[in-house]
Structures are given as structure tokens and as C-alpha cells.
């Protein structure tokens, strides 16, 4: 008996379905793309239970003739291509002939279609046609998919939550709506309308319907072309950004695609106008000769190969750069003003100066890396006052100018305060000429050995200290602080230092005051596309755990009535938006990790910026706080806070360590 045999058609279709039909969103994508290829002008999608119970796609397209309906359910049956040449001139979304047979092999499918005359109804269950009858004469096609993966239940365990699956469906419909603004789309889930476009051909109107009117107003049209490519669409102004690339839609000849190089070129067109870790909203519509693109490299057809891709990336980058260079990038002050501002208490002149510096020089978050979780630090107490008071921030804790004392209560030393032995091994500077130096050399050696022994005994008798006793000297270019200690010179990055101090404070504060909230006189309204609204529904409790309570306010909006008291006055909206962005970007996020990221963000926002001059009192106060930090050596993003130049390093720089027979005059002593 032969071992090699041909797979049954139904089994082959089920195997193919594993590539084409991964989840309910895949079904919606394939059916809607077929409807678009049928020249439809109105496509209505209805889903129940995130598509697992029922998916219905109704279009007003060309329809399918009765003699072709059964053939449409056969694998690799298509009307889009006939020979090999057509494979290199594909202009339709579908062409492989896998959609309907793959879907039917794992679901219960009913197709009703008509070209304008008597219609046809096909009922296919598990890849087997159960009925073929006449139907109504409405021109167009209706496909109903029920009990998806009912005959292959193992696929169900790989699906996400209903809200996540519905968000994927919504995202697919939104991308198709952006690709075809002249087609009217509607998406309804369990009787609730999630998406609707008018089909008037206005791309900006579609963007407004998906991302909100306010976002659409902050997007500008772009247009560029060369002999091979034409690029049009909309990109957001640098003031409108998101935390991930998923808001960049690349459309190639009407097909939504994923292409990292094209996305990278779009971002490069912004130059330095974007903050690190932030990405624009964009819809790029790229038109090119079908001969220059191969769309037949992946079953889902979302990954393509583009000929002359470097030329296309250069065109995109130049088009975006030129467009933004002609745009006034200064935000409208009236739109950017906070809705309310609560004055912060100032306890002394130092506090007011630091608060003023924090207000004028807010630092944008320049890293998306998350620091390793540190043990919680105890915040410095504030003198209690009558009535409820906002939580004291690190800048608001009054401190007196003092010399920084080193800590000795660390288990593991990370830095030696003074390497006496190493320094004593260096030759002492001679006091006179060569003759005097030679005469004094034995005495100097004896003194050196005695000093080494004393230094060794001192080191063994005292615990090693990892943070030195710093004495403030001055400031360099309003960015770095100079300080000295017994073991040399220290350079401190003032922004990184205050980031570390703030981080350890906020990490503790966020975990302690989640119930300590402040009512807003004017509530904050946040608008998000439907996909984000559905995803956020899974994380309402996570946001609420840190005091951000989102309440539904219309189909695509949330309203916030109160916020934690540790929010910076005037930054309430921005802070909440960044928190929401983290949730949307990370998907699954624990409360601990969420609080950690929030602490990092708050510490950076409230840290003094570079090129800001501190007076001696402010600088000494900052160094004092840094000395009490649990990890004073790195900011929350991992950058070093301070660097050390030993006495020997300085001597090497000034060539003071060289031939000991040289005279003191040669060394400038």
C-alpha cells in the first residue's frame, strides 16, 4: 500500500485556513476585500460576540452569477487572474482564491448573491455544500459566517479576549475605510455602531471619523511624486503623536501593508521634531506600477516586496520634510492652555525658584526604556497644614544649604571613597633640584610605606562608602554641577540627578495616594478611535488603580472628573494621555509595572532641564537629596548621574605624572 496520498479537499482547505483565517478579523478582512473588488459602494459589516457567533457582510457590488457560486467555494478558484502574466499586474485585493473555501472549511457559511436577476443562495458547512437554491434578486452579495472554528475548537484557545478580537476587527475595517474613502463602510457589533463613513471620497473626513475631529485638524496633507511613485495622504503635526507605530497606515495601490522601511522613512521626515519614543499619526497612499510590487509573498497579502524601495523611502522622507518645513509648528496657545490650574504652595524662596524652573523648563521624555524596579524610598515629610493639602513634591520640601554627607549603610560598596594606596604609590613631587631629590628619596620612601600602612588600617577599620561627601563648586553651562570630594572631582548631570530624586519619590507616592484625588472644575474629555476604546475597556481597572478613572462619554470618548493630587498642575491632560498610551502600547500591563512607568514619566517631566542655571542654594539642596537616594548613580532611564575624575586622572591630564627626576619648575609648582 503506498504511503504517499493526496489530501482530501476539505482537510487541505482546513490546513490553508490556518494561514488565511487566524481569527474573526481575518474573516472580515477577506470578505470585505472581496466586496471592494466587486465594485461595491456600500459595505455593511455586522458582527456578534466579537465575530465568533456571527459575521455578516452585505455589499451592493456586482454579485456572482448562479453558475459560478459553487465554483467560488473551490480552492484556488478566482476571477482575478487567468495566466502567469496577470500575476505581475495585480490590481485587485484578492486573487489567490483561498478566502471562501478556507472560511467555509472552519465555519457555517451562507452566501446570497445576485447580479440583478434571480439570486442564488449557497449553504456551506465545514466545506460541504448543503443547499443550492434560488434567492431574492437584490443586486450584490451577502455572506453570513456562523459558528467560526466550531469544527476545529483547538483554534479557539489561541484567541484573545472578546474586546481584543473586536478591536482587531475594527482596525481592519478602519484601514479599509482609509484605503477607500469613496466607499461607505459601517460596522455594527451586537447592535452598537462602531464605525461609519460616508463614502464621499474625502480622506480627511474618514480620518476625523476614525481618530476624532481634533486629531484630524492637526493633520496636514502631503503630496509628492517621482517617475515611478506618487505619494499622497495626511500626516500629523509634531504636537500630535502616539506611543507606537500602529497609527501609521501605509496604503499601496489601495492595499494596507506592513513595511518597516517605509514607516522609518516617514518618521525620518520629521527629523528632530518628534520626541524620542513618540510616533506620528499618518495615512500614506502610495500609487505605483503593479509591475514594481510583488503582493504574492504572504497569504494575508499584508507583506509585499517593492522594487526600487530606496527611491520610494527617499521620496517619502523628502515629501514629509518639505511639507512640515512650510508649516507653522508652534502650537496654538489657546488650544494648549490647560482647562484649570491649581496654584502650588510655596514654602520658601528656594521652593518658589524650583517650581518656577519646573514650570518653564519641562523635560520631554527622551527614552522608552523602563528602569529596573527599585525598592521603595520613603518620601520626605511636609509640615501638615489645616485642611486637605496636595501631596508635597520633591521640589516643595524645604531644605537648608548643607554639605552633602556620605552614606555608610549600604550592604554592597559600589565605589571607594578614597584609594589611598594607589595614590601613595605615585612618586612624591621633589622639593628641590636633582641633588636634593636624591637625598630625600629614602626618607620619602619610608614615609610612603608608613602612610600606606596607615591607609590600609584605616580602610579595614571603617566601612566602605559608595557615595562620596561632595562639596559643591559651581555649574557648567547651566547643565552640569561641579563638586569635589576627598578622592577627586565629580561632574553631575543636574537633570539626571533630579530625575533620580523625583523617581524614588513618585514611585512611593503613586502607590500611597491612589485614593487621594482632586476634583476637576472642568472635566477632561478624551477622544480615541474605536479600536482604542475597545482595548481600553480591558484596562479600566488598571487605570483606576492609580487614580485615573475613565467614564464612557459617547461612543468614542471618555470623561475624567478627578485626578490624583500628585499630578502636576497644568499637566493633568498630558499625564492622563501618556498613561493611556502606555496601556494601549503594552496591552497587558500589571499595576506594579504601570506605576513604575508612571513614576518614570513624572520624574522626567518635573526634572529641571539642561541650560537652566541654579544658584548655590538650589544646587546644594539637589546634591543633598541625591546623596539620600537608594541608587544615586543612574537616572530611571539608565543614564549615569555623575562621573568621577580621580586626583590621578587630573594629574595625568596636566602631565604631572611623569619622570620623577624632573624639577618642580617643569611642573609649574
**pLDDT of amino acid 582:** 79
* Least reliable range by pLDDT among 172-176, 327-331, 499-503, 551-555: 327-331
| Segment 206-220, tens digit of pLDDT | 999 999 898 999 999
Q: Which of 91-95, 419-423, 610-614 has the lowest mean pLDDT?
A: 419-423
Q: Which of 413, 376, 338 is nearest to 568 (CA)?
A: 338
Mean pLDDT to the nearest integer, 256-272: 88
Q: CATH code for 204-325?
A: 3.30.230.10
Are 181 and 206 in contact by the 8 Å Cβ rule? The answer is: yes
CA torsion sign, 70 to 76 to 79 to 83?
Answer: negative
Q: What is the chain's Cα-based Rg?
A: 34
Lowest mean pLDDT among 225-234, 258-267, 394-403: 394-403
Q: Look-up: residue for cell 497579502?
A: 301
pLDDT reported for residue 425 = 36
C-alpha span between 491 and 652 (Å, rounded): 18
Mean pLDDT calculated for residue range 630-658: 79
Can you say whether the dihedral through the CA atoms of 465, 467, 472, 476 is positive or negative?
Answer: positive
Phi, psi angle pair for 520, to nearest 5°: -100, 135
Whole-number pLDDT of residue 97: 64
Mean pLDDT of 457-484: 71
On average, the pLDDT of the chain sits at 74
Least confident segment among 50-64, 75-89, 417-431, 536-550: 417-431
pLDDT digits (tens, 9 = 90+) for 289-300: 888 888 766 666
Q: Averaged over 541-552, what is the pLDDT?
A: 83
More confident residue, 565 or 238: 238
Please write the tens of the pLDDT for every residue from 68-86.
Answer: 888 888 877 777 666 777 6
pLDDT digit string, tens, across residues 235-249: 998 888 888 888 999
Cell for 112?
446570497
| Range in 391-405, 464-478, 599-613 with the lowest mean pLDDT | 391-405
Q: Where are the alpha helices (DSSP H) in 378-493?
A: 420-424, 434-461
pLDDT at position 94: 65
Residue 387 has pLDDT above 90, yes or no: no
Q: Report the percentage of the chain scoring pLDDT > 70.
A: 68
- Mean of pLDDT values over 124-144: 90
Would you give the DSSP letter of residue 371? P
Q: How many CB atoms lie within 10 A of CB 119?
A: 23
**Does residue 534 surpass a pLDDT of 90?**
no
pLDDT band at 592 (very low <50, low <70, confident <90, very high): low
C-alpha cell at 382: 511636609
- Contact predicate 179/201, CB 8 Å: no
CATH 3.30.210.10 describes domain 9-200? no
DSSP assignment of 33-95, as one string?
HHHHHTT-SEEEEEEEGGGTSEEEEEE-S----HHHHTGGGSTT--SS--SGGGGGS--SS--
Reported as a single tens digit per residue, the pLDDT across 395-428 is 443 333 334 333 333 333 333 333 333 333 333 3
* pLDDT greater than 90 at residue 183: yes
Q: How many residues does the chain have?
A: 669
Domain boundaries, the chain: 9-200, 204-325, 348-379+390-417+464-660
Q: For residue 204, what pLDDT band results from cuts at 50, 70 and 90? A: very high
Distance, CA of 263 to CA of 235 (rounded, Å): 12
pTM comes to 0.59
pLDDT of residue 591: 60
pLDDT the model gives residue 658: 61
372 pLDDT exceeds 70?
no
Would you state the CATH architecture of domain 348-379+390-417+464-660?
Answer: 2-Layer Sandwich (3.30)
Q: Is the pLDDT reported for residue 363 higher than 50?
A: no
* pLDDT value of residue 611: 65
In angstroms, rounded to a whole number, what is the distance separating the alpha carbons of residues 497 and 626?
6
Give the pLDDT score at 588. Answer: 58
More confident residue, 161 or 452: 161
Judged against a pLDDT cut of 50, whether residue 659 lies above it is answered with no
Cα separation of 575 and 273, whole Å? 20
User: 50-59, 218-227, 498-507: lowest mean pLDDT where?
Assistant: 498-507
pLDDT band, very low/low/confident/very high, at 458 (cuts 50, 70, 90): very low
Find the helix packing angle between 24-37 and 162-179, rounded to 10°.
20
Handedness of CA 196, 199, 200, 201 (dihedral sign): positive
> Could you give the CA distance from residue 607 to residue 496 in angstroms, rounded to a whole number?
8
Tell me: pLDDT of 203 over 60. yes
Instruction: Report the pLDDT value the prediction gives residue 93, as an integer from 0 to 100.
Output: 81
Amino acid at each position: 500500500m503506498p504511503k504517499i496520498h493526496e489530501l482530501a479537499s476539505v482537510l487541505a482547505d482546513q490546513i490553508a485556513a490556518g494561514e488565511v483565517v487566524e481569527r474573526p478579523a481575518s474573516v472580515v478582512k477577506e470578505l470585505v476585500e472581496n466586496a471592494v473588488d466587486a465594485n461595491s459602494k456600500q459595505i455593511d459589516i455586522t458582527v456578534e460576540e466579537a465575530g465568533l457567533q456571527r459575521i455578516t457582510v452585505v455589499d451592493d457590488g456586482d454579485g456572482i452569477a448562479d453558475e459560478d457560486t459553487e465554483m467560488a467555494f473551490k480552492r484556488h478558484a478566482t476571477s482575478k487572474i487567468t495566466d502567469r502574466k496577470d500575476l505581475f499586474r495585480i490590481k485587485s485585493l484578492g486573487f489567490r482564491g483561498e478566502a471562501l473555501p478556507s472560511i467555509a472549511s472552519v465555519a457555517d457559511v451562507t452566501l446570497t448573491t445576485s447580479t440583478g436577476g434571480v439570486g442564488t443562495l449557497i449553504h456551506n458547512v465545514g466545506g460541504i455544500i448543503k443547499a443550492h437554491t434560488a434567492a431574492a434578486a437584490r443586486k450584490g452579495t451577502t455572506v453570513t459566517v456562523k459558528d467560526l472554528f466550531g469544527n476545529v475548537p483547538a483554534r479557539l484557545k489561541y484567541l484573545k479576549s472578546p474586546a481584543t478580537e473586536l478591536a482587531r476587527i475594527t482596525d481592519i475595517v478602519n484601514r479599509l475605510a482609509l484605503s477607500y474613502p469613496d466607499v461607505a463602510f459601517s460596522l455594527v457589533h451586537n447592535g452598537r455602531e462602531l464605525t461609519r463613513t460616508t463614502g464621499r471620497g474625502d480622506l480627511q473626513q474618514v480620518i476625523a471619523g476614525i481618530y476624532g475631529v481634533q486629531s484630524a485638524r492637526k493633520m496636514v496633507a502631503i503630496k509628492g511624486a517621482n517617475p515611478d511613485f506618487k505619494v499622497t495622504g495626511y500626516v500629523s503635526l509634531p504636537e500630535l503623536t502616539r506611543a507606537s507605530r500602529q497609527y501609521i497606515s501605509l496604503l499601496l495601490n489601495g492595499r494596507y501593508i506592513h513595511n518597516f522601511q517605509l514607516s522609518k522613512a516617514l518618521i525620518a521626515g520629521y527629523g528632530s521634531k518628534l520626541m524620542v519614543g513618540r510616533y506620528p499619526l499618518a495615512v500614506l497612499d502610495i500609487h505605483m506600477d503593479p509591475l514594481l510590487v510583488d503582493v504574492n509573498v504572504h497569504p494575508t497579502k499584508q507583506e509585499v516586496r517593492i522594487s526600487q524601495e530606496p527611491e520610494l523611502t527617499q521620496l517619502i522622507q523628502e515629501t514629509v520634510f518639505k511639507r512640515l518645513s512650510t508649516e507653522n509648528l508652534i502650537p496654538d496657545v489657546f488650544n494648549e492652555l490647560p482647562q484649570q490650574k491649581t496654584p502650588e504652595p510655596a514654602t520658601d524662596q528656594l521652593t518658589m525658584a524650583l517650581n518656577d524652573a519646573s514650570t518653564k523648563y519641562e523635560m520631554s521624555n527622551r527614552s522608552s526604556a523602563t528602569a529596573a524596579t527599585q525598592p521603595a524610598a520613603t518620601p520626605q515629610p511636609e509640615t501638615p497644614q489645616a485642611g486637605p493639602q496636595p501631596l508635597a513634591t520633591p521640589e516643595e520640601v524645604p531644605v537648608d544649604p548643607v554639605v552633602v554627607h556620605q552614606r555608610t549603610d549600604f550592604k554592597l560598596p559600589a565605589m571607594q571613597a578614597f584609594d589611598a594606596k594607589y595614590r601613595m604609590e605615585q612618586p612624591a613631587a621633589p622639593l628641590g633640584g636633582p641633588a636634593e631629590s636624591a637625598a630625600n628619596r629614602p626618607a620619602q620612601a619610608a614615609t610612603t610605606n608608613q602612610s600606606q600602612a596607615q591607609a590600609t588600617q584605616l580602610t579595614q577599620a571603617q566601612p566602605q562608602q559608595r557615595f562620596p561627601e561632595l562639596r559643591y563648586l559651581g555649574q557648567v553651562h547651566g547643565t552640569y554641577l561641579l563638586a569635589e570630594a576627598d578622592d577627586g572631582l565629580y561632574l553631575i548631570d543636574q537633570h539626571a540627578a533630579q530625575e533620580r530624586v523625583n523617581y524614588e519619590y513618585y514611585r512611593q507616592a503613586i502607590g500611597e495616594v491612589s485614593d487621594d484625588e482632586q476634583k476637576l472644575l472642568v472635566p477632561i474629555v478624551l477622544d480615541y478611535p474605536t479600536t482604542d476604546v475597545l482595548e481600553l475597556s480591558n484596562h479600566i481597572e488598571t487605570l483606576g488603580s492609580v487614580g485615573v478613572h475613565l467614564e464612557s462619554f459617547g461612543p468614542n470618548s471618555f470623561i475624567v472628573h478627578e485626578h490624583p493630587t500628585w499630578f502636576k498642575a497644568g499637566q493633568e491632560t498630558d499625564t492622563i494621555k501618556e498613561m493611556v498610551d502606555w496601556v494601549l502600547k503594552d496591552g497587558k500591563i500589571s499595576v506594579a509595572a504601570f506605576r513604575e512607568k508612571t513614576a518614570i514619566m513624572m520624574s522626567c517631566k518635573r526634572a529641571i532641564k539642561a541650560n537652566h542655571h541654579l544658584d548655590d542654594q538650589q544646587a546644594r539642596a539637589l546634591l543633598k537629596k541625591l546623596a539620600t537616594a537608594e541608587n544615586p548613580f543612574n537616572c530611571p532611564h539608565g543614564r549615569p548621574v555623575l562621573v568621577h575624575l580621580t586626583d590621578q586622572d587630573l594629574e595625568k591630564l596636566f602631565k604631572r605624572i611623569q619622570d620623577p627626576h624632573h624639577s618642580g619648575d617643569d611642573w609649574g609648582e
